[in-house]
Every structure is written in structure tokens, then in C-alpha cells.
Structure 1
């Protein structure tokens, strides 16, 4: 199963992405989605 590792990696990225979004939403100044994506994928 070659795709299993890739799937796990995507899942991990997705989880980190969600955590980042929650962190940003917790701040006073709401960040736009583009800003979040830029942070997630440098």
C-alpha cells in the first residue's frame, strides 16, 4: 500500500492546519484563509 503513508501525512497536515486555524480564531484579529494557508505551506 504505497498510498498509506501519503494518507497519514495528509491527515497530519490537516490536523496541524485545523489547530492553526483554531489558534488564529482565538486571537482578537481574525486572519483570512489565505493567511492561514501561507502559514501552513511556507
Structure 2
């Protein structure tokens, strides 16, 4: 998984890390399927 931000590494702090984790946690895990295929499982 990739996460992109405009914040450079020296300026990356705890708040930005928590924001990245929150964004990651909100992702729909489909494991290669389309959204429609994932909903039928």
C-alpha cells in the first residue's frame, strides 16, 4: 500500500502519521476484485 503526502520526511510528525493511519484504515480491501465483486462475497 502507498500513501502520498506533500509533507517532506523531516517535517513528518505524529499528527501526519496518525492521519496516514486513519486514511489507510478507511480503505476498502478488495484483494484484486472490483468493488461489485467484493460486495458479493
Fold-level match, TM-score > 0.5?
Answer: no
> TM-score with structure 2 length normalisation?
0.42
> TM-score with structure 1 length normalisation?
0.41
Higher helix share: 1
- Tell which has more relative contact order, 1 or 2 (C-alpha 8 A, sep 6+): 2
